[in-house]
Amino acid sequence: MEKEPLLQLRVFDLNCWAIRYLSKLRQERVQMIADTLSQEGYDLVLLQEVWSETDYRTLKQRLSACYPSSHYFRSGVIGSGLCVFSKYPILDTFLYQYSLNGYPYMLQHGDWFCGKSVGLLVLKIQEIVFNIYVTHLHAEYCREKDAYLPHRVVQAWELGQFIQHTSKAADVVLLGGDLNMHPEDVGIRLLRGWTGLRDSFTDAERFEGCEDGCTLVPDNYFTNKKELQPFPLGIRIDYILYKGQSNFAVKCDRLVTTTGKAPGKSIPYSDHEAVIATLYVKRHGEAKAPNSNTVEPALVDIMNEARTEVRVGLHAAQRQRYSSGRMAILALLLLLLQAVMGLSSLVGWASPQPFPKFSFSVLGSLAVLVLLVSGVLHIFHAIEVKVLQGTEDQMRLALQSLQDRLSTK
């Protein structure tokens, strides 16, 4: 006879698209989100892109009666945008900022300034320890020429490693957020394969919402229709993933996504659709070790594919490091040449004014500017190279361990 579930957990996940001064109808939508969360009374709320702490304080004030525990994860220049609201006491929190997160000179994208991260909070519900993770990975922007794919793969790997190394004492692991990856992308396959996390959409016994579980759909008033032209139904990039450990099992009874407009409203909550999962936690008869996941041969192929993407990014970073270093050296040589010419005119080795003073000053200023910019870029790309090399080394060791385990089966 099947055991009754010990616990039901209703989880709400949403990328709020609340960018101060830029997002349309931001304050109205934040109020809508607060109204819905207070009415529905979910057990756990995971939000991304709450960039303004003012919006977080508004939500916290409105939701304090229903969700007495909350936390805002601060990171980067403008913040991680991650926050959580819980019916149950939050026992502990931790933030890990990803090593790579785009480029500071790509101002039109801005991911680097956000300090993309993963936030961890620990809950204890009916003596069951939950490790809850909320994250937001680097955006894609252009699928055909995705310059950020290596960075996103590194983020997926670091996220998987972070979950593996921090969840050993947990009974249940849950991850929610905007992963900016399609279900078939190498990053999400690597994350799921490495951690053993299950997808609430594929495992749900009942589903209601957008076709194929899409969370970025053309029917949404705020989405960029041009970007979604190759995907008539939309794309699925927001996830609720989970797994049970020790002697606990988790299943998704029901998964719901919003479908364009918020229920009973004329506008959506965000440019993303909300994902709402109803999870049941059950107890197994026998305990199992947290790291007892069987090794699937397909994981070896996924690891090789991910290493290939990291190597591609490594070669590109090395080229950029070389180019910026060469530019810095040329600017430095130009400055030295100008210094020699200036000293020569002072001591009488050359004509008093080999160049007009204004032109000489402008040229010197430009050389200083190029030296500073190229020097900073060289340092940035040198760090990028080191991170990619380190990630590739980690993947190589992990792959070797997987192959050894498969050979002994």
Catalytic residue, from 71, 138, 151, 272: name it: 272
Q: What is the pLDDT of residues 162-187, one digit of tens each?
A: 999 999 999 999 999 999 999 999 99
Q: What is the pLDDT of residues 330-353, one digit of tens each?
A: 999 988 887 777 776 666 655 555
Is pLDDT at 19 greater than 50 in this prediction? Answer: yes
Residue 246: predicted pLDDT: 84
Here the tokens at position 297 are 């041969």
How much is the average pLDDT of 149-164? 98
Is pLDDT at 149 greater than 90 in this prediction? Answer: yes
**DSSP single-letter state for residue 210:** S
Is pLDDT at 4 greater than 70 in this prediction? Answer: no
Q: What whole-number distance in Å separates Cα of residue 219 and Cα of residue 127?
A: 43
Residue spans of beta strands (DSSP E) within 90-228: 90-97, 117-125, 128-136, 172-178, 198-199, 206-208
The phi-psi region of residue 150 (left if phi > 0; otherwise alpha if psi is between -120 and 50; otherwise beta) is alpha
Residue 64: predicted pLDDT: 95
Q: What whole-number distance in Å separates Cα of residue 265 and Cα of residue 91?
A: 36
CA–chain centroid gap for 197, Å, is: 17
Residue 396: predicted pLDDT: 96
What band does 367 get if pLDDT is binned at 50, 70 and 90?
Answer: confident
Say which range, 51-60, 94-103, 292-301, 347-356, has the weakest mean pLDDT: 347-356
What band does 357 get if pLDDT is binned at 50, 70 and 90?
Answer: low
What band does 31 get if pLDDT is binned at 50, 70 and 90?
Answer: very high
Residue 1: predicted pLDDT: 40
Dihedral angle of Cα 105, 108, 113, 118, to the nearest 10 degrees: -120
Task: Give catalytic status of residue 272 as yes or no.
Answer: yes
Closest to 138 measured CA to CA, from 121, 154, 122: 154
How much is the average pLDDT of 116-131? 96
Is pLDDT at 3 greater than 80 in this prediction? Answer: no
Residue type, position 348, single letter: G
Q: What whole-number distance in Å separates Cα of residue 117 and Cα of residue 159?
A: 9
Decide if 67 contacts 85 (C-beta within 8 A): yes
Q: What is the pLDDT of residues 78-92, one digit of tens each?
A: 889 999 999 999 999
CA–chain centroid gap for 223, Å, is: 19
Q: What is the pLDDT of residues 211-255, one digit of tens each?
A: 999 999 999 999 988 889 999 999 999 999 999 998 999 999 999
How much is the average pLDDT of 316-331? 94
How much is the average pLDDT of 374-378? 94
Tokens 């927001």 belong to 238
Q: What whole-number distance in Å separates Cα of residue 245 and Cα of residue 247?
A: 6
Residues in contact with 294: Cβ distance below 8 Å, sequence separation at least 6, in sequence order: none
What 3-state DSSP class applies to 116?
A: coil
Is pLDDT at 359 greater than 80 in this prediction? Answer: no
How much is the average pLDDT of 366-370? 89
Residue 6: predicted pLDDT: 79
Decide if 247 contacts 193 (C-beta within 8 A): no
Closest to 78 measured CA to CA, from 160, 19, 126: 19
Q: What whole-number distance in Å separates Cα of residue 119 and Cα of residue 132?
A: 8
Residue 364: predicted pLDDT: 80
Q: What whole-number distance in Å separates Cα of residue 30 and Cα of residue 117?
A: 22
Q: What is the pLDDT of residues 393-408, one digit of tens each?
A: 999 999 999 988 888 7
Residue spans of beta strands (DSSP E) within 22-169: 44-50, 69-73, 82-86, 90-97, 117-125, 128-136
Decide if 131 contacts 99 (C-beta within 8 A): no
Closest to 336 measured CA to CA, from 362, 309, 371: 371
Residue 405: predicted pLDDT: 86
Closest to 274 measured CA to CA, from 290, 256, 250, 291: 256
Residue 234: predicted pLDDT: 95
Closest to 132 measured CA to CA, from 163, 100, 96, 165: 163
Residue type, position 64, single letter: S
Q: What is the pLDDT of residues 255-312, one digit of tens each?
A: 999 998 887 888 999 999 999 999 999 987 665 555 555 667 899 999 999 999 999 9
- Rounded to the nearest integer, the mean pLDDT of the chain is 91
How much is the average pLDDT of 368-388? 95
pTM: 0.92
- The strand pairing partners of 260, in sequence order, are none
Q: What whole-number distance in Å separates Cα of residue 370 and Cα of residue 375?
A: 8
Query: Around Cβ 125, how many Cβ atoms within 10 Å?
Result: 19
User: How many residues appear in the chain?
Assistant: 409
Burial of 92 (0-12, 13-18, 19+ CB in 10 A): exposed
Residue 214: predicted pLDDT: 97
Is pLDDT at 354 greater than 80 in this prediction? Answer: no
Closest to 274 measured CA to CA, from 9, 10, 13, 11: 13
Residue 320: predicted pLDDT: 95
